C-alpha cells in the first residue's frame, strides 16, 4: 500500500509540474482552482481505482483520470471567475498614484523615475521618465483577488503577453509589492508627470 501512495504522490507532482508555464513559467494563483481540482480529483480517483481494481494499476489509472477531470473542472471555474470580473468595480487601489522608490528584478529597465497609476476600469498605467527626460506610458489591466494584485498584459505584435500575481501590502506611508518576477517599494503621490 505504501508503494501505491508513493506512486500516486509522484503522479500528482508530475501533473502539478506540468501545469506550470503560464506567464513567466511559474505557478500563478490565477489558476489555483485547476491545480486544487486536479489534486483532489487525483486523490478521489486513486481511492476509487484502488477500491475497484484492488491493485496498483487500478489505483494509478483512477488517480490519472481523477486528476485530469478535477483539473479541467477547476480550470473552468477559474476562467469563469476571470470572465465575470466587473472592471467597473473599484478596488482599494483604484484612483491611487504611486512613485516607485525601489525596484528589484533581474535586468531592470533604465529609468530616472517610475510611477504607477491605478485607473478606473481596471487600467494600470506605468509612467516612466527616462534618463534623458522622455515620458513613456504603458497600460496593463489589473484586478485584486484574495489580496493578490493580478497584472495582465495581452500579447501585442511580437511581444508576449503575461500574467503576474503579486502580493501587496498597502499602508498610509507606502506600499510593497512582491512577486516571483519583481519586488517594489512605492510611496503615494498626488500627481504623475505628464
Whether the per-residue pLDDT at 160 is higher than 80: the answer is yes
0.85 surpassed by pTM: no
Q: What does the angle CA 176 – CA 26 – CA 64 come to, to the nearest 5 degrees?
A: 140
Instruction: Note the pLDDT tens digit of each residue in 6-49.
Output: 555 555 555 444 444 333 334 444 445 555 655 665 566 666 66
- Residue 109 — pLDDT band, cuts 50, 70, 90? confident
Q: What is the DSSP letter of 160?
A: P
Whether the per-residue pLDDT at 177 is higher than 90: the answer is yes
Instruction: Note the pLDDT tens digit of each residue in 46-66.
Output: 666 666 667 777 666 766 766
Higher-scoring residue by pLDDT: 77, 168? 168
The x, y and z cell numbers of residue 82, run together, are: 476571470
Q: Which residues pair with 144 in a beta bridge?
A: 149
Residue ranges per structural domain of the chain = 2-83, 97-189
Q: With respect to CATH, is domain 97-189 assigned 3.40.50.1820?
A: no
Higher-scoring residue by pLDDT: 145, 102? 102
Instruction: Note the pLDDT tens digit of each residue in 110-141.
Output: 899 999 999 998 999 999 999 999 999 999 99
Q: What is the DSSP letter of 23?
A: T
- pLDDT of 133: 92
Mean pLDDT of 143-149: 86
List helix spans (H) across the chain.
2-18, 32-53, 56-83
Q: How many CB atoms lie within 10 A of CB 173?
A: 7
d(CA 179, CA 194): 28
- Residue 194 — pLDDT band, cuts 50, 70, 90? confident
The x, y and z cell numbers of residue 32, run together, are: 489555483
d(CA 83, CA 85): 6
- pLDDT of 20: 40
Contacts 24+ apart (CB under 8 A), 111-120: 113/193, 115/189, 115/192, 115/193, 116/186, 117/192, 118/91, 118/93, 118/94, 118/142, 119/94, 119/95, 120/88, 120/90, 120/94, 120/95
In our burial notation (b when 16+ CB lie closer than 10 A, e otherwise), range 30-57 reads: bbbbbbebbbbbbbbbbebbbeeeeeee
Cell 503579486 -> residue: 166
Amino acid at each position: 500500500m505504501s508503494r501505491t501512495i508513493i506512486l500516486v504522490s509522484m503522479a500528482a507532482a508530475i501533473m502539478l509540474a506540468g501545469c506550470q508555464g503560464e506567464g513567466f513559467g511559474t505557478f500563478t494563483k490565477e489558476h489555483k482552482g485547476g491545480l486544487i481540482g486536479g489534486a483532489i480529483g487525483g486523490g478521489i480517483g486513486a481511492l476509487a481505482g484502488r477500491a475497484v481494481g484492488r491493485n496498483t494499476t487500478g489505483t494509478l489509472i483512477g488517480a490519472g483520470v481523477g486528476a485530469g477531470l478535477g483539473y479541467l473542472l477547476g480550470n473552468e471555474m477559474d476562467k469563469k471567475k476571470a470572465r465575470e470580473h466587473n472592471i467597473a468595480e473599484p478596488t482599494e487601489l483604484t484612483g491611487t498614484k504611486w512613485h516607485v522608490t525601489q525596484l528589484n528584478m533581474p535586468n531592470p529597465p533604465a529609468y530616472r523615475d517610475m510611477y504607477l497609476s491605478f485607473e478606473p476600469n481596471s487600467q494600470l498605467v506605468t509612467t516612466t521618465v527616462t534618463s534623458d527626460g522622455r515620458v513613456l506610458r504603458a497600460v496593463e489591466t489589473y484586478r485584486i483577488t484574495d489580496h493578490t494584485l493580478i497584472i495582465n498584459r495581452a500579447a501585442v505584435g511580437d511581444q508576449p503577453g503575461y500574467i503576474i500575481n503579486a502580493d501587496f501590502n498597502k499602508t498610509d506611508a507606502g506600499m510593497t509589492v512582491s512577486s516571483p518576477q519583481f519586488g517594489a517599494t512605492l510611496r503615494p503621490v498626488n500627481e504623475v508627470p505628464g
